[in-house]
């Protein structure tokens, strides 16, 4: 006999069962019936005989759930002859759960039992149920020797495994149709389903209500008469119902109002004791602006920054804002949104590094603001504030906020599209429409379409790919959202098309091969792994590194997200479910894709920040140092602090080695981080100040972000630039504007960008025969070659009577001076001047 007490399970034997006898019980037996005319009389007769042997006070309630045979007529005759029998009739059929609800509502006695009306159970065994009911709220039977077909037994076994895994019922035979309840316990159960999920629903609510449950073995008979209502065709419906019930009642229940009133807090919750959360959010935005918008004038970093700055420069130079070009050749990789924004910045502020980096910086600021804004709407201002802090100080977000990439702008528009969609679906002013569907909030819905269109103009179809699955999933899974129809999606899609389509039409008119190259080669083929192929698990370490220091909350947050304790379950609101779908789908999609780069996960950052902000709010509110949150409150924070300090030491040493510099500033940073590292290790033993552990970790994370982005990264870029102001080669390349220059096996987009020249030739392959023609025609030229290419490979492509002299090595570029000389041989040599230029 398998027993389950509140959230626990144990075994008892018959000795324990028979030692729990109390007074004579009163019993109500509920028999749900549907087209059971062939067997209902036998079922009632057997029930009457069994119950009369246990007690004198009992009733047999037959719930005819819309039968179309003679079931009701037979029960009426039995009721007229036996005062213990009564009939409840549904018309039309409402479902198994509705029949049990009606039976429970009509039950008048102390113990309430339900079983099917097909005589598959020996009801004389109810005496054991009665004895166990003296100690337990619910007594469940489990079939000892099932008489069903092997296939149906297999279905049942798999279903029971799923129910135990998802719902935590802890009973071996969830759907055994012989269960006894104390009437008070039965009244506590909120049975909402009408289908086969009713038993799982009952046992899940019993666990959540801390009702004690015992499971006892019962005999099972083969069904000889009547008509079973269960078939293989029900499996998909049952499984989908199980998944939706798990989502809404177990994983992300609607235990709080769908929208919390956002008002000025009555309590002053301050940082440094002087401001409310609203002003703290404003202050955080100011801090972010100072961090992101200052000291942007260091050299552009090859390859992404130089490429994405040169393309808009060429837009301005050619006055062609439709067709993206790099090295004045059509660039098929991406749509133009980033280029347009950079070109506008160049027009307003002048062409330069700072103007280019203003675009990702402002995109990051707006992403931060939108995350706090929607976090305040979905949760409250404190959670919005914490999410902003988490987002700003996440290593990956802090890096991309000052780095010229497509992904920062894409992340802004994708996050706005998903935030707007969720607002449109969850708005409490939604009104009931036909067929029970609630309409969407059209303002937010249209705004979401606009953002999808802008995201499409930023990076193409990925905007739809990242938006559609989580929105479809939340509307299908959640009971708290509107259910858009196909025409809702059609209108939203039309808005996105109006935003994005004109450019695609115009670019097609200028270059008819663009659309094929863009959609196939740079989307489908890229997904299949033509570029940047990485293993499936690639984004696991990327996510942990990019999420530092907050990734140290991963273990306790996973426990919170999948825990079955009441506190965690009540805190997991439907909004958390949407954020899980958003971030989880982003992670899964890019993991499935063969093409992987670390910044691809950036669109998931706002959702992850809100999830962790919501959890961290609960952690910090707990001032009792309870075991539930102590790991997250203390150990996660202290470990994150020590790791950050170690990273600080490592980064300083990396810069010293890379740049060959050991300045007083770098030495000072090294000493500071070493001191902080030793202090953080000592603080591991101090559990009395756990309340400030995350404050300390936040402080050192901010310090690391400032040092990395304002000193280490600029120092690294200055050490690698070929033409920037700090490069010793800049003077050689700018001395004669008539000198012919070519880049080989690499774009080296900084060359035309910094020289502001439109005549720089690019040869994608060193074996391009046009390279020799270029040198022959020029007579003298500077060749900037990828340093992986040997000088002999370059020399082989030059005309006869050519001399190749290396004049510098900087970053990944080697500079050669190519000239034609008298004689019949090619000469390669390295000048002494180049030795001092390699840094």
d(CA 677, CA 673): 6
How many structural domains comprise the chain?
Answer: 4
**Pick from 621, 645, 671: which residue ends a domain?**
621
- What mean pLDDT comes out for the span 572-580? 95
In this prediction, residue 259 carries a pLDDT of 41
In this prediction, residue 255 carries a pLDDT of 67
What is the pairing mode between strands 802-810 and 827-830? parallel
Q: Which residues contact 609 (CB under 8 A, 6 or more apart)?
A: 371, 387, 388, 390, 391, 394
Residue with more model confidence, 662 or 571? 571
Angle, CA 19 vertex, CA 14 and CA 20 arms, to 5°: 110
d(CA 210, CA 205): 8
User: CA nearest 342: which of 309, 371, 319?
Assistant: 309
Q: Is the pLDDT of residue 625 over 80?
A: no
In this prediction, residue 750 carries a pLDDT of 92
Residues 636 and 766 in one domain: no
Proportion of the chain above pLDDT 90, given as a percent: 58
Q: What is the mean pLDDT of the chain?
A: 86
d(CA 797, CA 773): 9
Q: Is the pLDDT of residue 274 over 60?
A: no
State pLDDT tens for residues 204-236. Answer: 989 888 899 999 999 988 766 544 555 566 678
CB distance 745 to 789 below 8 Å: yes
CB distance 818 to 728 below 8 Å: no
Residues 206 and 300 in one domain: no
Q: What b/e readout covers 665-704, taking b as 16+ CB neighbours within 10 angstroms?
A: ebeebbebbeebbeebeebeeeeeebeebbebbbebbbbb
d(CA 806, CA 832): 9
In a domain, 725, yes or no: no
What is the pairing mode between strands 813-820 and 780-786? antiparallel
In this prediction, residue 3 carries a pLDDT of 44
Residues 447 and 540 in one domain: yes
- The DSSP H or E segment spanning 424 is helix 406-426
In this prediction, residue 801 carries a pLDDT of 81
State pLDDT tens for residues 357-411. Answer: 999 999 999 999 999 999 999 999 999 999 999 999 999 999 999 999 999 999 9
State pLDDT tens for residues 151-206. Answer: 888 888 888 899 998 998 888 899 898 999 998 888 888 887 777 788 899 999 89
Q: Is the pLDDT of residue 566 over 50?
A: yes
What is the pairing mode between strands 111-115 and 27-33? parallel
In this prediction, residue 322 carries a pLDDT of 95
Residues 408 and 536 in one domain: yes
pTM here is 0.88
Residues 599 and 703 in one domain: no
Q: Is the pLDDT of residue 823 over 90?
A: no
Residue with more model confidence, 262 or 659? 659
d(CA 7, CA 1): 17
User: CA nearest 783: which of 737, 820, 740, 736?
Assistant: 740
Residue with more model confidence, 238 or 675? 675
Q: Is the pLDDT of residue 91 over 70?
A: yes
In this prediction, residue 260 carries a pLDDT of 41
CA distances from 21 to 133, 215, 281, 612 (A): 9, 18, 64, 52
Residues 216 and 305 in one domain: no
Residue 500, token pair as written in the block: 């994005």
State pLDDT tens for residues 109-166. Answer: 999 999 988 888 999 999 999 999 999 999 999 998 887 778 888 888 888 899 998 9
d(CA 44, CA 702): 74
Residue with more model confidence, 134 or 1? 134
In this prediction, residue 401 carries a pLDDT of 95
Residues 749 and 807 in one domain: yes
- What mean pLDDT comes out for the span 572-597? 95
- What mean pLDDT comes out for the span 654-661? 76
Q: How confident is the model at residue 15 (pLDDT cuts 50, 70, 90)?
A: very low
Tally helices (H) and strands (E) across the chain. Answer: 35, 17
- What mean pLDDT comes out for the span 31-51? 91
In a domain, 511, yes or no: yes
Angle between helices 462-477 and 442-459 (to 10 degrees): 150
CB distance 731 to 819 below 8 Å: no
Q: Residue with structure tokens 């600029």?
A: 714
In this prediction, residue 497 carries a pLDDT of 97
Mean pLDDT lowest among 243-257, 326-340, 610-624: 243-257
**Pick from 689, 720, 751: which residue ends a domain?**
720
Greatest C-alpha distance within the chain: 126
**Pick from 720, 744, 779: which residue ends a domain?**
720
In this prediction, residue 427 carries a pLDDT of 66
Strand partners, 138: 181, 213
d(CA 159, CA 236): 11
In a domain, 636, yes or no: yes
Residues 381 and 480 in one domain: yes
- What mean pLDDT comes out for the span 737-745? 89
Residues 603 and 665 in one domain: no
State pLDDT tens for residues 423-446. Answer: 999 865 544 443 445 689 999 999
Residues 557 and 646 in one domain: no
Torsions phi, psi for 69 (to 5 deg): -105, -155
In a domain, 41, yes or no: yes
Q: What is the CATH number of the domain that holds 128?
A: 3.90.550.10
CB distance 548 to 605 below 8 Å: no
Q: Residue with structure tokens 């299949």?
A: 528
User: CA nearest 794: which of 809, 808, 807, 784?
Assistant: 784
In a domain, 255, yes or no: no
In a domain, 106, yes or no: yes
For residue 303, say if its preceding peptide bond is cis, omega within 30 degrees of 0.
Answer: yes
Residues 379 and 477 in one domain: yes
Q: How confident is the model at residue 19 (pLDDT cuts 50, 70, 90)?
A: very low
Domain that holds residue 712: 632-720
In a domain, 242, yes or no: no
Q: Which residues contact 738 (CB under 8 A, 6 or more apart)?
A: none
Please compute Rg for the chain using Cα positions: 35
Residues 458 and 517 in one domain: yes
Task: Estimate to the nearest angstrom the gap between the alpha carbon of 620 and the chain centroid.
Answer: 23
Torsions phi, psi for 115 (to 5 deg): -155, 160
- The DSSP H or E segment spanning 406 is helix 406-426
In a domain, 253, yes or no: no
State pLDDT tens for residues 509-545. Answer: 999 999 999 998 888 888 887 777 889 999 999 999 9
Residue with more model confidence, 247 or 689? 247
């Amino acid at each position: 006999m398998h027993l389950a007490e509140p959230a626990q399970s144990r075994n008892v034997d018959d000795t324990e069962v028979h030692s729990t006898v109390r007074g004579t019980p009163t019993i109500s037996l509920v028999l749900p019936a549907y087209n059971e005319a062939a067997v209902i009389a036998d079922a009632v007769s057997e029930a009457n005989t069994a119950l009369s042997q246990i007690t004198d006070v009992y009733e047999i309630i037959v719930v005819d759930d819309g039968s179309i045979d003679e079931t009701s007529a037979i029960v009426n005759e039995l009721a007229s002859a036996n005062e213990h029998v009564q009939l409840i009739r549904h018309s039309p059929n409402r479902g198994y759960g509705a029949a049990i609800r009606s039976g429970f509502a009509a039950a008048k006695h102390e113990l309430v039992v339900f079983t099917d009306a097909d005589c598959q159970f020996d009801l004389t065994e109810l005496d054991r149920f009665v004895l166990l009911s003296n100690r337990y709220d619910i007594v469940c039977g489990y079939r000892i020797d099932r008489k069903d077909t092997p296939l149906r037994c297999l279905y049942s076994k798999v279903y029971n495994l799923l129910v135990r895994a998802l719902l935590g019922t802890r009973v071996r035979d969830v759907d055994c149709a012989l269960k006894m309840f104390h009437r008070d316990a039965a009244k506590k159960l909120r049975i909402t389903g009408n289908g086969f999920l009713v038993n799982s629903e009952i046992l899940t609510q019993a666990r959540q209500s801390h009702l004690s449950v015992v499971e006892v073995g019962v005999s099972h008979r083969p069904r000889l008469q009547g008509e079973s209502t269960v078939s293989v065709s029900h499996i998909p419906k049952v499984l989908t119902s199980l998944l939706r019930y798990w989502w809404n009642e177990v994983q992300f229940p609607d235990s709080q109002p769908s929208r919390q009133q956002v008002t000025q807090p009555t309590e002053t919750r301050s940082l440094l004791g002087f401001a409310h959360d609203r002003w703290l959010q404003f202050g955080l935005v100011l801090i972010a602006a100072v961090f992101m918008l200052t000291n942007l004038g260091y050299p552009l970093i090859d390859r992404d920054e130089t490429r994405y700055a040169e393309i808009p420069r060429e837009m301005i130079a050619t006055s062609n804002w439709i067709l993206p070009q790099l090295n004045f050749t059509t660039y098929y990789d991406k749509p133009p949104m980033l280029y347009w924004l950079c070109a506008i910045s160049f027009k307003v502020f002048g062409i330069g590094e700072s103007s280019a980096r203003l675009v990702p910086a402002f995109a990051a600021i707006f992403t931060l603001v939108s995350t706090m804004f929607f976090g305040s709407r979905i949760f409250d201002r404190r959670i919005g504030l914490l999410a902003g802090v988490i987002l700003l100080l996440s290593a990956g977000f802090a890096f991309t906020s000052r780095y010229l990439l497509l992904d920062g702008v894409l992340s802004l528009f994708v996050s706005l599209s998903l935030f707007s969609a969720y607002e449109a679906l969850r708005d409490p002013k939604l009104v009931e429409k036909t067929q029970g569907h609630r309409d969407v909030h059209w303002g937010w819905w249209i705004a979401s379409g606009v953002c999808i269109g802008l995201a499409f103009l930023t990076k193409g179809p990925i905007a739809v790919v990242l938006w559609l699955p989580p929105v479809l999933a939340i509307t299908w899974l959640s009971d708290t959202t509107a259910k858009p129809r196909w025409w809702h999606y059609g209108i939203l899609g039309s808005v996105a098309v109006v935003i994005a389509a004109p450019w695609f039409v115009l670019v097609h008119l200028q270059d008819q091969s663009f659309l094929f190259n863009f959609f196939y080669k740079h989307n489908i083929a890229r997904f299949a792994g033509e570029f940047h192929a990485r293993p499936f698990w690639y984004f696991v370490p990327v996510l942990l590194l990019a999420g530092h220091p907050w990734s140290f909350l991963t273990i306790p947050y996973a426990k919170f997200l999948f825990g079955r304790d009441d506190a965690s379950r009540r805190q997991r609101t439907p909004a958390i479910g949407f954020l899980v779908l958003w971030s989880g789908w982003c992670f899964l999609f890019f993991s499935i894709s063969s093409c992987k780069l670390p910044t691809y996960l950036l669109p998931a950052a706002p959702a992850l920040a809100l999830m962790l902000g919501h959890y961290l709010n609960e952690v910090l509110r707990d001032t009792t140092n309870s075991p539930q949150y102590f790991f997250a409150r203390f150990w996660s924070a202290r470990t994150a602090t020590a790791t950050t300090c170690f990273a600080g030491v490592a980064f300083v040493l990396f810069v010293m080695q890379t740049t060959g510099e050991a300045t007083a500033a770098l030495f000072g940073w090294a000493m500071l981080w070493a001191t902080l590292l030793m202090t953080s290790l000592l603080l591991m033993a101090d559990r009395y100040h756990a309340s400030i552990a995350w404050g300390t970790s936040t402080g050192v994370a901010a310090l690391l972000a400032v040092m990395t982005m304002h000193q280490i990264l600029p120092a690294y870029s200055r050490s690698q630039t070929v033409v920037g102001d700090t490069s010793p080669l800049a003077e050689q390349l700018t001395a004669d504007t008539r000198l012919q220059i070519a880049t080989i096996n690499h774009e080296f987009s900084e060359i035309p960008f910094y020289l502001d020249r439109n005549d720089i030739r690019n040869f994608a392959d060193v074996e391009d025969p046009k390279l020799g023609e270029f040198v022959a025609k020029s007579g003298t030229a500077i060749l900037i070659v990828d340093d992986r290419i040997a000088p002999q490979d370059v020399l082989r492509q030059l005309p006869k009577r050519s001399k190749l002299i290396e004049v510098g090595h900087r970053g990944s570029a080697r500079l050669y001076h190519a000239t034609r000389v008298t004689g019949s041989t090619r000469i390669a040599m390295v000048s002494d001047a180049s030795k001092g230029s390699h840094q």
